[in-house]
Amino acid sequence: MQPSMKYLTARGAHRAVVGLAATAFVFGPALAWSMGVTPKAIENRALSPAPDASKGWDALDDLSPWATDHLPGRARAVHLNAWVDYYALGQLPAPQQVGPKGTAKAPSVVRGTDGYLFYGADFTVACDKSAKFEQSLKSLAGLAEIIQASGRRVVFTVAPNKSAVATAELPRAMPRGTCAARGIERQNRLLDSMRHPLFVGIRKPLADAHASGKQVFLRTDTHWTTLGGAMYAQALAAHLDPELARRLRWNPEQMTKAGELTTLAGLTATETVMSASISSGATATVAPKPATYGKGKPVYQPDSWVSRPSKGLVQGRTLLLGDSFTAVAAIKSLQPLFAQGRFVLFGYVPESQLVSEIRSADTVVIEVVERYVVDHVGTTPRFQKQVAAALGVRKP
């Protein structure tokens, strides 16, 4: 067959496929409805209404969104489209984030190298808020100093973004360009050079472990693996009780998770990695939570536990104040370090309860993820004033 004929045949086949797809797209919803197949909303909005014939030609404007929402098997089609974009075309279907004035930010999910996905907001924050990062670190240290002045033991740490650890896998064409690149480098230097006596620095150890081939962050999630969480727990134990840290045992384990970045990109695959946790030899028993509900949804309740045998553990009442980095993959290694512990998730209880929790503790551990350090509640003068008043100390 001549090249021109091959081209015409291929073009004809392409047109046929497009025609069939278009026909199915437009008439499929009506056919499916007539057969009793009704679509379900897979997004946080109502399905688009059917076109109104009384609007005349203007009804055509409503045809495309209605057909899209009522396409048979739409949820599967969305996942299939995401799969093709990611695995066949090397693209990410994640939506673009838009600033308050319509300015473009970064995609929700950013594709790096070696299968690594990054959270787009990290690049935006690195660019827009890096100038305030140093002062925010000092303010977080100020909160720790207030608590220490009351006679309580206290440490604080910053859980690094994956973009601060897996730097070799960052995309060459970085969202927000050199502004984000400079912001990431600046924040890395500040975290590594922080020498405050109450600060537990973990970015550099995690980055070194990553460079050596250990997977301390999931490729498809924003959070660290249980290995990364265990490294944080080990560093925390070394700061609070070096003898306890020397007695900890490392337990290899396998971790499987559907990464949130995968889900955000419209994909459904899970990720399995070899990981690890640590153990002190004690068993942590978590207290049951009261079944309280509000507006049909469970009300958040902090986690409390006791660890036995308690000899050699951090004694007294320990309060862990943190975010999802503590909750997702670190809590398993953290709980057996403390004879009596309690974990409270930032953002899920009012400030007054945070103050009350701090006042009731003997030891306070504060963890804040890097992307939220700037403008974090713990760095605000208002909150620090409340803490100082509750603990009976003068705010520096």
Q: Report the range of poorest mean pLDDT among 55-59, 147-151, 163-167.
A: 55-59
Q: Residue 45: is its pLDDT beyond 80?
A: no
Identify the three-state secondary structure at position 29. helix
Instruction: Give yes or no for a contact between 286 and 303, defined as CB atoms under 8 angstroms apart.
Output: yes
Domain positions in the chain are 23-72, 117-391
**Percent of the residues in the chain that have a pLDDT greater than 90, as a whole number:** 66
Mean pLDDT, range 363-367, rounded to an integer: 98
- Write the secondary structure of 110-159 as one string of H (helix), E (strand) and C (coil): EECCCCCEEEHHHHHHHHHCHHHHHHHHHHHHHHHHHHHHCCCEEEEEEE
Mean pLDDT, range 242-268, rounded to an integer: 94
The closest of 200, 223, 155 to 363, measured between CA atoms, is: 155
Contacts of 25 (CB under 8 A, 6+ apart): 67, 68, 71
The closest of 226, 222, 194, 191 to 207, measured between CA atoms, is: 191
Q: How confident is the model over 64-85, as pLDDT tens digits?
A: 555 545 555 544 544 444 444 4
76 or 175: whose pLDDT is higher? 175
Distance CA 343, CA 318 (A): 9
Predicted model pTM: 0.76
Q: How many CB atoms lie within 10 A of CB 138?
A: 12
Q: Residue 24: is its pLDDT beyond 80?
A: no
Distance CA 291, CA 143 (A): 33
Give the confidence band of 26 by pLDDT, cuts at 50, 70, 90.
very low
Please identify which residue in the block is written with the tokens 């009522």. 70
Per-residue pLDDT at 246: 97
Q: Which class for 163: exposed (0-12), middle (13-18), buried (19 or more C-beta within 10 A)?
A: buried
Q: Give the amino acid at 235.
A: A
Q: Residue 14: is its pLDDT beyond 80?
A: no
Q: How confident is the model over 214-225, as pLDDT tens digits?
A: 999 999 999 999
Give the confidence band of 38 by pLDDT, cuts at 50, 70, 90.
very low
List, in sequence order, every beta strand (DSSP E) within the chain: 96-98, 104-107, 109-111, 117-119, 153-159, 249-257, 271-279, 283-286, 293-294, 297-298, 303-308, 314-322, 338-345, 363-369
Q: Which tokens belong to 310?
A: 């308690």
Q: How confident is the model over 261-307, as pLDDT tens digits?
A: 998 888 888 999 999 999 999 999 999 987 665 556 678 899 999 99
Mean pLDDT, range 19-41, rounded to an integer: 46
Contacts of 193 (CB under 8 A, 6+ apart): none
